[in-house]
Amino acid sequence: MKELELKRKIKPTVLKLGGSIITRKEKPLTPNKGVIKRLAKEISQARAEKLIVVHGGGSFGHPIAKEYGIAEGFKDKSQLIGFSKTSQAMTMLNKIVVEALLNEGIPAIAIRPSSFIVTKHGRIENVDWSIVAKLLELGLVPVLYGDAVIDSAKGFTILSGDQLVAELAIELDAERIIIGVDVDGLYTADPKVDDSAKLIRKLSLKQLKELKDEIGRSKLVDVTGGMLGKVNELMRAVMHGIPVLIVNGLKPNKIYKALRNERVVGTLITR
Amino acid sequence: MKELELKRKIKPTVLKLGGSIITRKEKPLTPNKGVIKRLAKEISQARAEKLIVVHGGGSFGHPIAKEYGIAEGFKDKSQLIGFSKTSQAMTMLNKIVVEALLNEGIPAIAIRPSSFIVTKHGRIENVDWSIVAKLLELGLVPVLYGDAVIDSAKGFTILSGDQLVAELAIELDAERIIIGVDVDGLYTADPKVDDSAKLIRKLSLKQLKELKDEIGRSKLVDVTGGMLGKVNELMRAVMHGIPVLIVNGLKPNKIYKALRNERVVGTLITR
């Protein structure tokens, strides 16, 4: 009960830094150091209180995880070194992100998902979030990330940063979620390949579901360029009344403005 | 119940790599890379099954933790960045150790104590060790370390690698504990300053207690050069019937022989 009260009063902001902005997707194990440094500055200048940062894997986690089929679960011992390597690559990326935050005076603290989260068929099961809550209460900034984790059904799997964001936000009763990606938000089509793609500035849960059905019917594989899959994972949080704001983290000051609650180009999804 | 059965059948070996052997104590943030590489080779060549590695902080954790008074608990916000920096320094050292193990083909996996362990007045409280047990069962090698952790009584504190070793060994019903330090074992005096110091090859719990009382009476601050304090932490494990073998990790092949259950110079403490 005390734990619950603690959580209720914190009302944190959950900030996701996508793998597409903090790493160079085309180059394995290459951080986008300039972007990471700028984002750390923006986070510091925004003076956001009760902040949780979650980052993706980008070119650190994904190539190795794919090579060893980690997301598909344990099949034989030859995957074990791949599980280790995926995990270690994520530690490396996380170390760079935490270091950048520390350099800006932010008391960031790495939280390793695989050390306390178990999934079942890829979905997070009953997790004790009290350490994260306690760190927030002290004034520290927990930094989590997508990770290779133990799965009670298939041995191990990959836990995405997006699932982590939704779960954290719901469990810690977050005030809001801010998602930093490499496009301005959710478009009607993939803005990287389709000039007619229009940015959707505001979206209710009902509209989002309609959009999903529409795209489902067209049988195309996510015409929005992967953004809808990401949004799908976050829908659970929106259903809990937590607004999700998607902004372009590659463009300066978007994350800063979002953290400051200032007007910013992006997609806002509310219940 | 199933969890308990899982633990009972694993019977792991817990290997501690002291901060005094894997870092250069006189130089802040300086790993003893040659020693780490050799130890990784020895661990690989010994082909130990069901192995857990725990390492200390040495010149990574201690100087920063001391500067900010982390072990004494939370007093004011100015310590927060110190908590972060201590934690980050330990991540850096852990990354180096895990990388060395990976390079020798060992599927090592970093386990971050601060992500799932809370202490109370500096002592570990009810911890869920099932992830570590599951990783062992899969064939992975969990690598833990002394860390800056949340403390339910004083905000935060430092959790020593030695306390972690004893707790892990008891909770996972370890077969044995091997401690790698920078001396040959427990001496009758500090071998680094006293030529008459004699290595104690074998010690029962009863003899250890007598030794402790004797030293306590002499009112000297641990004449054994800090080794008795370390042993003190491990006594709980010995009481549970888990033998503790202390060997010199700075001398080649001692850890290898210990892992292989071969005869080796050192101190063996049994119930």
Interface test with A, best of B109, B145, B156 (most A CBs within 10 A): B109
Interface test with B, best of A91, A103, A132, A141 (most B CBs within 10 A): A91
Helices A130-138 and A2-10, axial angle in degrees (round to 10): 50
Phi, psi dihedrals of residue A48, rounded to the nearest 5° = -70, 135
Q: With beta carbons under 8 A apart, name residues in chain B contacting A115.
A: 110-113, 115-116, 131
**How far is the alpha carbon of B84 from chain A, nearest alpha carbon, in Å?**
5
**How far is the alpha carbon of B241 from chain A, nearest alpha carbon, in Å?**
28
Distance CA A108, CA A52 (A): 9
Distance CA B101, CA B118 (A): 27
Cα–Cα distances (Å) from B80 to B74, B84, B93, B138, in that order, read 8, 6, 20, 37
Which of 3.30.300.180, 3.40.50.300, 2.30.40.10, 3.40.1160.10 would CATH assign to domain B2-57+93-115+125-146+160-270?
A: 3.40.1160.10
Q: Read out DSSP for B87-144?
A: HHHHHHHHHHHHHHHHHTT--EEE--GGGT-EEETTEE-S---HHHHHHHHHT-EEEE
Has residue B62 got a pLDDT over 60?
yes
Distance CA B126, CA B117 (A): 8
Side-chain-facing half-sphere of A109: CA atoms under 13 Å: 31
SS3 B30: coil
Q: Which two tokens stand for residue B169?
A: 């060994």
Has residue B1 got a pLDDT over 50?
no
B51 vs A190, which has greater pLDDT? B51
Q: Which two tokens stand for residue A126?
A: 């009953």
Sheet strands (E) in chain B = 13-17, 51-55, 108-110, 118-120, 123-124, 141-145, 147-151, 155-159, 176-181, 202-204, 244-248, 267-270
Q: With beta carbons under 8 A apart, name residues in chain A contacting B77.
A: 139
Is B102's CB within 8 Å of A84's CB?
Answer: yes
Has residue B116 got a pLDDT over 60?
yes
Has residue B5 got a pLDDT over 80?
no
Q: Read out DSSP for A78-97?
A: GGHHHHHHHHHHHHHHHHHH
Q: Which of A85, A110, A130 sits opposite B112 (nearest CB)?
A: A110
Interface test with B, best of A51, A90, A150, A157 (most B CBs within 10 A): A150
Q: What is the mean pLDDT of residues B196-205?
A: 92
Total count of residues recorded for chain B: 271
User: Looking at chain B, which residue has its C-alpha nearest residue A117?
Assistant: B131
User: Looking at chain B, which residue has its C-alpha nearest residue A76?
Assistant: B138
Is A110's CB within 8 Å of B87's CB?
Answer: yes
Distance CA B131, CA B134 (A): 5
Is B134's CB within 8 Å of A150's CB?
Answer: yes
Q: What is the pLDDT of residues B160-172, one digit of tens each?
A: 999 999 999 999 9
Residue A1: its pLDDT value, please? 41
Residue B196: its pLDDT value, please? 87
Residue B52: its pLDDT value, please? 98
Residue A232: its pLDDT value, please? 83
Is A134's CB within 8 Å of B150's CB?
Answer: yes
Phi, psi dihedrals of residue A187, rounded to the nearest 5° = -105, 165
Q: Nearest 10 degrees: CA dihedral of B177, B178, B182, B186?
A: 60
Is A115's CB within 8 Å of B118's CB?
Answer: no
Q: What is the mean pLDDT of residues B62-72?
A: 93
Residue A100: its pLDDT value, please? 98
Of A9, A17, A12, give the one whose Cα is nearest residue A174.
Answer: A12
Q: What is the pLDDT of residues B215-244, one digit of tens each?
A: 666 544 555 556 777 888 899 999 999 999
Is A84's CB within 8 Å of B74's CB?
Answer: no
**How far is the alpha carbon of A67 from chain B, nearest alpha carbon, in Å?**
16
Of B114, B225, B128, give the one whose Cα is nearest residue A108.
Answer: B114
Give buried/exposed letters for B162-194 (b at 16+ CB in 10 A, else e): bbbbbbbbbbbbbebbbbbbbbbbbbbbbbeee
- Average pLDDT, consecutive stretches of 10 residues, N- to C-terminus, chain A (271 residues): 59 96 91 98 95 95 92 96 97 97 98 98 93 96 97 96 96 97 89 87 90 66 64 91 97 98 96 91
Distance CA A5, CA A14 (A): 19
